[in-house]
Amino acid sequence: MNVRMKQIICVAIAASVTLLAGCSQPPKVKVTKWVHSKTQAVQQQRQHQLAVLRAQGIQVFIQGESVTVVLPDEDVFVTNSANLRDEARELLNHVSKFIKTYSVVNIGVNAYSDDQAWAGAPVGRKLAMTNRQAQVVASYLWSTGIDMRFMTTQGHSNNDSVAWNGTPKGRNFNKRVELTFRFYPHLVTYN
């Protein structure tokens, strides 16, 4: 082995020993306290946003690592359209804040309508409208900072009814937007 090679090996060993010696020192900041306090703050924010949504009559179902938020069509859209109501923006902002308290895997935005026919409307009009409604909600959530890559949208027209369409109340239950997302349970937040 030549002299130059021995010098390089000695420098590499000295650098390795120095780096390893730094690892033997305990950290100066206790990371667990910061993570724990951040987790508590996120949980408090999540509970607050959940209470705000439920106070506005929004149904939120949490089962395991999946959450479904059900938004009545009449609270979100102008009647028989995909145009957002002015009041819906505040509601969707609360939904966005609620979603951001989770570390989200994916979000499905699904829109549904009732089975009532529109006079003179083509057969596919309701499907097109519910597709557009799902896209509008997803776009609005994206504008609040939720990553669009996590979202899928789908309109279902009058498929998958949750109530009987024979009454106005039943039809109102069927006209809805459902946001369903899965999350990582042990990570702190979406952002």
Contact partners, residue 124, CB within 8 Å, separation at least 6: none
Residues 6+ apart with CB under 8 A from 167: none
What global pTM score does this model have?
0.75
Provide the token pair at 39. 């987790």
Residue 152's region, left for phi above 0, alpha for psi from -120 to 50, else beta, is beta
Residues 58 and 91 sit within 8 Å (Cβ to Cβ): yes
SS3 11: helix
Q: Which residues of the chain carry a pLDDT beneath 70?
A: 1, 17-37, 117-121, 123, 186-191
In-domain check, residue 130: yes
Would you say residue 57 lies in a domain?
yes
Place of tokens 């896209």: 135
Residue 67 lies in a domain: yes
**Structural domain includes residue 113:** yes
Looking at residue 27, its pLDDT comes to 56
Cα–Cα distance measured from residue 114 to residue 164, given in angstroms and rounded to the nearest whole number:
9
Q: Does residue 5 form part of some domain?
A: no
Q: How far apart are the first and last CA of the chain?
A: 53
Which residues are bridge partners to 107 per DSSP?
Answer: 151, 181
| Residue 10 placed within a domain | no
**In a domain? residue 173:** yes
What is the structure's pLDDT at 158? 77
Place of tokens 């997803």: 138
CB atoms within 10 A of CB 127: 17
Q: Which domain holds residue 131?
A: 43-184
CATH value at residue 166? 3.30.1330.60
Predicted local distance difference test score (pLDDT) of residue 34: 47
The tally of domains found in the chain comes to 1
As beta bridge partners, residue 183 has: 104
The reply to whether 16 falls in a domain is no
Residue 177 has a pLDDT of: 97
Q: Is 178 left (phi over 0), alpha (psi -120 to 50) or beta?
A: beta
